[in-house]
Structures are given as C-alpha cells and as structure tokens.
Amino acid sequence: MKHFFAALMLAISFQVMAVIETYEFETEAQEQLYTEIIHELRCPKCQNQTIAESNAGLSEDLRYIVYQKVSAGEEKRDILAYMQQRYGDFVLYDPPVKPSNYFLWFAPIFVFIIILIAVLARVGRRKVTPDSSDDTEEL
C-alpha cells in the first residue's frame, strides 16, 4: 500500500513539470523574470493551474507573449497589467483588494471579531465564585 501511494505521488509530480517549450533569453535576469511571471499567471482555460504548469494551447500562447514582452524589456507590472486587461483579475494569482472582493478579504477577520466579542461577553458575565471555604481551610 505504501509503495502504491509512493508510485502515485511520483506519477502526479511528473505531470506538474510538463512544460514543453524552452525559450532563450539574452540575460539571466530576463529568464528569471519570465519564470517568475508565468508562475504568477493563472491559465484562464483551467481552473487552478498557472500558465507555467498548464499545457493548454492558450497557456502556450500566453507564455509566448510573456516571453516576447520580457525579451523586449517590458516590466513585470506592465506584463501583468496586459494580462489583467484581457482576462480580468482571474489571471492574477495575487488579485488586488477592491470593493467587489472586500467580503473575501475581510469576512474572516469580521467573523473572528464577532466570535471574540461573543466569547468575551460570555466570559465577562460568568460569575466567578471561588469556593473560598476550601482554600482557607487548607491554609
């Protein structure tokens, strides 16, 4: 059973690494930037894969665009903005905080505060009546 799971894990891990094409960059920095960007963009066709991981045709096209733009010396900010203009916040794995997603960002804190208030209110209301008779006898 252990071996089976080990084999299964191995099989899955190979899939994740399957990106076909390689691009030549003039500088090491550009190559790093390229790798960084494709790991931060979500494949619009897929549900939860970066364009670096996905082998969908669209991801391939988007990687090519990133490659072209990085080679042309464009900045990361501009490349992400280019993608965001076309595919919306969905393509960004680090979406901006804005009114439409305030709920997602702040609901956990909000719920936590409510729980905190409820707990504090309960604890505060509880009558602490130490059994003083026992203590004094011991002493």
Partner 1 sequence: MNKKIVLAVAPIITFIGLVVFFWFALDNDPQKLNSNLIDKPVPEFALPSLQNPEVVYTEKDLPKELFLLNVWGSWCGPCHIEHPYLMKYSKQYSVPIVGVNYKEKVIDGLKFIEEKGNPYSMVISDSDGQFAIDLGVYGAPETYIIDDTGTVRFRYVGVIDDRSWHKKILPVIEHVLGKTLKPIESTE
Closest CA relative to residue 60, chosen from 102, 18, 99: 18
- If the CB atoms of residues 7 and 90 are measured against partner 1, the closer one turns out to be 90
User: Does 92 participate in binding partner 1 (rule CB under 8 A)?
Assistant: no
Using CB under 8 A, which of 30, 35, 49, 58 touches partner 1? 58
Q: Of residues 37, 40, 41, 44, which one binds partner 1 by CB under 8 A?
A: 44
With binding defined as CB under 8 A, does residue 47 bind partner 1?
yes
Determine the interface stretch with partner 1 among 1-9, 87-95, 102-110, 125-133 (rule: CB under 8 A): 87-95
SS3 track for the chain: CHHHHHHHHHHHHHHHCCCCCCCCCCCHHHHHHHHHHHCCEECCCCCCCECCCCCCHHHHHHHHHHHHHHHCCCCHHHHHHHHHHHHCHHHECCCCCCHHHHHHHHHHHHHHHHHHHHHHHHHHHCCCCCCHHHHHHHC
Interface with partner 1 (CB under 8 A), residue total 14
List the one residue from 27, 39, 75, 90 that touches partner 1 (CB under 8 A): 90
Q: Does 93 bind partner 1 (CB under 8 A)?
A: no
Site string for partner 1, 1-40 (x = CB under 8 A): ----------------------------------------
Burial (Cβ within 10 Å: 0-12, 13-18, ≥19) of residue 33: buried
- Please give the residue ranges that form the binding site for partner 1 (CB under 8 A): 44-45, 47, 57-58, 61-62, 65, 84-88, 90
